[in-house]
Structure 1
Amino acid sequence: MNRTKLEEESINLLKEITFEQEQLESLYLDMAKNESGEIEIPDLDEQIENRLQSLQRSANNINRSLLETEMMKDELKARKKDVDKKQLPSNTEIDYQESKSNRFAKGVNIYKLLLILFFGSFAGVIVEMLFCLFKNGYIESRTSTIIGPFNLVYGLGAACLTFFLYKYRNHGVWLSFIGGFVVGSVVEYFCSYFQELLFGSTSWDYSGYPFNINGRICLLYSIFWGLLGIFWIKDLYPLLSQFILKISNKIEKTLTIAATVFLILDYAISGFVVYRWMNREQHILPQNKVEEFIDVLYPNETMKEIYPNLVFKN
């Protein structure tokens, strides 16, 4: 059996602990003799305090070493498991490929996050539409934009999951689950909050679910976010990163900027159209030619088809 230097040092540490225990037995004996009056040790309290401080520092160092060792073991185990999945690229492989390249969208930076936001906004809509088809037997719009099937909740969710879980991409699934649980819940809550703040409307309501917070998030869907965190950072993220690596270096920056500008304009136009829809619900007449054009192009019937789950609050 080949032992690493770390293992050898851990064995020596156990020996040192045994030796320290023997030293403490001697100190306990001095304490007993001092208390019984058999001998008097003037600096005994100082010795005890010094030993306590030393043991506390030792405990802190050992606990930190234990945590670091457990994390190393967890990472090695997780990397092996990921690499063994032959059908998908692993984060270990992606890290290696990116280290050899001079691509601008590598690691976790603003360019990659913008590409992921675009991809997540699109893919999330497709997945939820398919889920609706499977669950209810019909296709229903899940987009949050007028032009194209994009949804900001999924885009922000994918970008935030990448940003916060990237550090733990090569560790066990429990960290990804916790991260996905927390990050997804926060994203979903604030998307709901700002939608209601800006447009006086909601697109989902979990009030009927147990353990919900203001109807914006609930335990069940937070668990789904946790599972999605695992699936995203372990499977989808390396797959998407591999695809990004294949994009020509000459166009990827231009492509990223173009996709971002498109999304900004799309969300801005969509927000304006929804705002006008809200005003129509309040019987506010159009104030200019643009609003008149919107009323003709996007009447209430059309808006209800695009946003079937959107409900305006009184």
Structure 2
Amino acid sequence: MLTITLFIILAFVVARFVIGAVQRYLEGRARGRAFSRMLNQGRLDAGVYADALWSATTSGARKVRARVSNEQRNAIMQARLEMREDFLNDTKPGAYQYVIIFLIASVLGLVIETVYTFIVFGILESRVGLVWGPFSPLYGVGAVLLTMVLWPLRKEKVWKIFLLSAVLGSLLEQTAGWSMETFAHLQSWTYLGLPDHITQWIAWRFVAMWGILGVVWCRVIMPELIFRIGEPTSRKQVVLVTLLAAFIALDVVMTIACFWRAGQRLEGMPPRNGFEVYVDTHFDDRFMAETFENMRIGEDIPPAAK
């Protein structure tokens, strides 16, 4: 997990650099959604920049604003930072933001983990965590948990954020690993082979990595992500996110049922009702093995290398 955590942080930093480069390009030409919002909110006075900001050149059939000066770009960037800070100070993340964060983190976490295992180990396998869709819910839950707890503490000292993130991440790993083993005879990882392991699912080196990841999330990723998600501005957005939340909830319930039945089948227990018959028919052992290739049902994973 040490290398993959660093890989995740690197991926977020690269993504943030790319997004920032696009943002700077748009601001350098007085364009983009953020620029329009600043004008609409009166944070920028168009008259001040009339000599260059609104000068236009013809490009084909449309007009393109000329490149603004460095002074004007700095003014636009400063106005955007102030707009973001005002929004964050007046905002408390709710269900709408949490659903989107869960979806983004679940998908990106799956993609990053899949790419990582292929590059480092040459293994290309299904690493999904739910029966429907490209989701790895542990990443989604981790992102939501860090956001919920760290949001009011995002301006606290780094060491406080580090310690709290380390505890939260370790508790999440312990809870997830213990629950899978206890209720579904399922294992996805183990740290028993590591000299610094605390339990089967917690090791000191990963406690530290959770702390680092929490600091990066709290100080770099979370504020910008919440600002870009924003508040719903139409009923369609609310309806769409509600439907997505309902789908994810159903996906989680069905996944739990599938693993529950997989464990029961391993013990030779036949289905007791129509729903369990449905699960055994459509999500049999072959489906579970092909879909969750990195998980082991009813068997121990070899201890991790030191």
Q: TM-score scaled to structure 1, two decimals?
A: 0.63
Match of 1:96 among 83, 86, 102: 86
Query: Is 1:257 the counterpart of 2:247 in the alignment?
Result: no
Query: Is 1:145 the counterpart of 2:135 in the alignment?
Result: no
Indicate if the aligned counterparts of 1:91 and 1:238 stay in contact, CA closer than 8 A: no
Distance 1:253 1:173 in 2: 35
Distance 1:277 1:224 in 2: 33
Indicate if the aligned counterparts of 2:125 and 2:294 stay in contact, CA closer than 8 A: no
Distance 1:251 1:293 in 2: 34
Indicate if the aligned counterparts of 1:162 and 1:237 stay in contact, CA closer than 8 A: yes
What is the Cα deviation at residue 247 of structure 1?
5.3
The alignment yields a C-alpha RMSD, in angstroms, of: 2.9
Query: Is 1:181 the counterpart of 2:166 in the alignment?
Result: yes
What is the SS of the residue equivalent to 2:193? Answer: coil
Distance 1:214 1:252 in 2: 43
Match of 2:175 among 181, 186, 190: 190
- After superposition, give the CA deviation of every residue in 1:70-95 in whole Å (9 maximum; x if it has no partner): xxxxxxxxxxxxxxx96589987533
Indicate if the aligned counterparts of 1:92 and 1:170 stay in contact, CA closer than 8 A: no
| 1:92–1:219 CA distance, 2 compared to 1 (3 A) | farther
Rg: which structure is higher? 1
Query: Is 1:283 the counterpart of 2:273 in the alignment?
Result: no
Equivalent in the alignment of 1:111: 96
Equivalent in the alignment of 1:220: 205
| 1:235–1:249 CA distance, 2 compared to 1 (3 A) | farther
Runs of 4 or more, structure 1, over 6 Å off, are 88-92
- Given residue 178 of structure 1, which amino acid in structure 2 is its aligned partner? L
What is the Cα deviation at residue 313 of structure 1?
4.2
What is the Cα deviation at residue 269 of structure 1?
0.7
| 1:222–1:268 CA distance, 2 compared to 1 (3 A) | same
What is the SS of the residue equivalent to 1:213? Answer: strand
Gapped regions of structure 1 (runs ≥ 5): 1-84, 101-105
| 1:178–1:94 CA distance, 2 compared to 1 (3 A) | farther
Distance 2:156 2:119 in 1: 33
Indicate if the aligned counterparts of 2:88 and 2:227 stay in contact, CA closer than 8 A: no
| 1:93–1:158 CA distance, 2 compared to 1 (3 A) | farther
What is the Cα deviation at residue 142 of structure 1?
2.2
Name the % identity: 25
Greater helix share, structure number: 1
Equivalent in the alignment of 2:257: 272
- Given residue 231 of structure 1, which amino acid in structure 2 is its aligned partner? V
Query: Is 1:127 the counterpart of 2:117 in the alignment?
Result: no
- Given residue 191 of structure 1, which amino acid in structure 2 is its aligned partner? A
| 1:92–1:132 CA distance, 2 compared to 1 (3 A) | farther
Worse-superposed segment, 121-130 or 108-117: 108-117
What is the SS of the residue equivalent to 1:150? Answer: coil
Equivalent in the alignment of 1:170: 155
Equivalent in the alignment of 1:200: 185
Q: TM-score scaled to structure 2, two decimals?
A: 0.64
Indicate if the aligned counterparts of 1:161 and 1:179 stay in contact, CA closer than 8 A: no
Match of 1:296 among 274, 277, 281: 281
- Given residue 151 of structure 2, which amino acid in structure 1 is its aligned partner? Y
